[in-house]
A = this chain, B = another copy of it.
Amino acid sequence: MRKTTIKDVAKYANVSIATVSRVINNSPLASKEAKKKVLQAIRELGYEPNALARGLVSRKSNTIGVLIPDVSNPFFAKVFRGMEDAVHKNNSNVFICNTDKDKERMLRYIKFLREKQVEGVIFTSEEVTKEYYEALYSLNVPVVLVATEAKEYNLPAVKVNDYQAVSDAIKYLVDNGHSNIGMISGPLEDKIAGLPRYEGYKSTLMEMGIPFNEENVVFGDYRFESGKKAIKELLSKNPEITAVFVSSDEMAIGSIVGACKMGIEVPKELSIIGYDNVSISEMSNPALTTIDQSLYQMGYQGVELLFEMIEKQKKEDSRICKGDTIYIPHRIIERESVSNLIQLNI
């Protein structure tokens, strides 16, 4: 059963296909009368233009691609939701690609996006390796990085300043009277969210006149279970710790649960501050004090930037799409998992 085409509409309305096309795209070249006839025909036949054909001749697919590790992870889910809303505000669509941080999947998807003639792509939360950069470059469309950056390639990016955010978190703990501060970090090989946070922790401690001690940091993989394990390890290495900065909310909640199983009460005996402000952080018991990354906004803004670049590229017909990193604001969300030692001592 063939779908209704522009030809059918033209015949039905007794005009040429050019006129129909003009009406659809409401060009000023169509007369009132023609418009009326055509609109009527469209309604009666239930016509809907074929985006494939449109895209082919206009060279516009109205589609962008999003490369993201895993939408089922609450962190990415939130970021993606922001992206999606921005995409639809711009009357466009999005192909989503879960890469699982797998090289082959990533490369396959990039190829795929090319075939689909996407007009831009968002690359989320992974390190931009040389191989990835080349694949992206060959796409020949604007690329925006979200929750990651790649200064060496000069790609535009939207993220929070991790170093600064962690630094603020540590200062907050110190302001609350803590000086024996531990950390549960992501892996240091992770150049995006691992290393910079670790360094933020280390430098800020030193800046505040607190000696840095390697024993006070333990590593995890950002997930719940690893937080549960890590807190035990940390506390067994140094039971004197009164507060710990944890590199992700999920892992932080793991630490709370882990501490609880050890009979340690949060925040009375141990303060915990997380990172991300993912929705589950309000649901933990006690509710998690954390660094808000405005994930939704990060996604939204990344896509907005992408559309600006697409617009710009179209005008200038330039091939190269460079840009700086835009740092979006972060802030501390005070909930229940950090106690104020100073107040307590008064």
Contact = CB atoms under 8 A, between A and B. Distances in A.
Interface of A: 1, 3, 46, 48-53, 55-56, 61, 70-74, 77-78, 80-81, 84-85, 93-96, 98, 111-112, 114-117, 138, 140, 224, 250, 253-254, 256-257, 260, 279-280, 282-285, 287, 296, 317, 319
B224 A115 contact: no
A63 B37 CA distance: 33
Contacts of A279: 72, 74
Contacts of A55: 52
Contact of A52 (B61, B140, B257): B61
Nearest to A296: B72
A48 B114 contact: yes
A50 B117 CA distance: 7
A94 B74 CA distance: 20
A96 B94 contact: yes
A80 B84 contact: no
A84 B71 contact: yes
Contacts of A284: 283-285
A96 B95 CA distance: 7
A115 B84 contact: no
Contacts of A48: 111, 114-115
A201 B94 CA distance: 41
Contacts of A114: 48
Residue from A49, A72, A84 having most chain B Cβ neighbours under 10 A: A72
A179 to B, nearest CB: 28
Nearest to A228: B283
A60 to B, nearest CB: 10
A50 B56 contact: yes
Nearest to A138: B46
A283 B138 CA distance: 43
Given A280-B283, A284-B284, 11 more contacts: A51-B117, A52-B52, A56-B56, A72-B74, A72-B279, A72-B296, A74-B77, A74-B279, A81-B98, A94-B96, A280-B280
Contacts of A280: 74, 280, 283
Contacts of A50: 56, 115, 117
B51 A115 contact: yes
A52 B3 CA distance: 17
Contacts of A71: 71, 77, 80-81, 84
A138 B45 CA distance: 11
A319 B1 contact: yes
A257 B73 CA distance: 23
A18 to B, nearest CB: 19
A43 to B, nearest CB: 13
B74 A81 contact: no
Contacts of A1: 140, 317, 319
A53 B61 CA distance: 11
A94 B114 CA distance: 15
Given A1-B319, A77-B77, A254-B283, A96 B84 contact: yes
Nearest to A118: B51
A114 B115 CA distance: 20
A236 B331 CA distance: 38
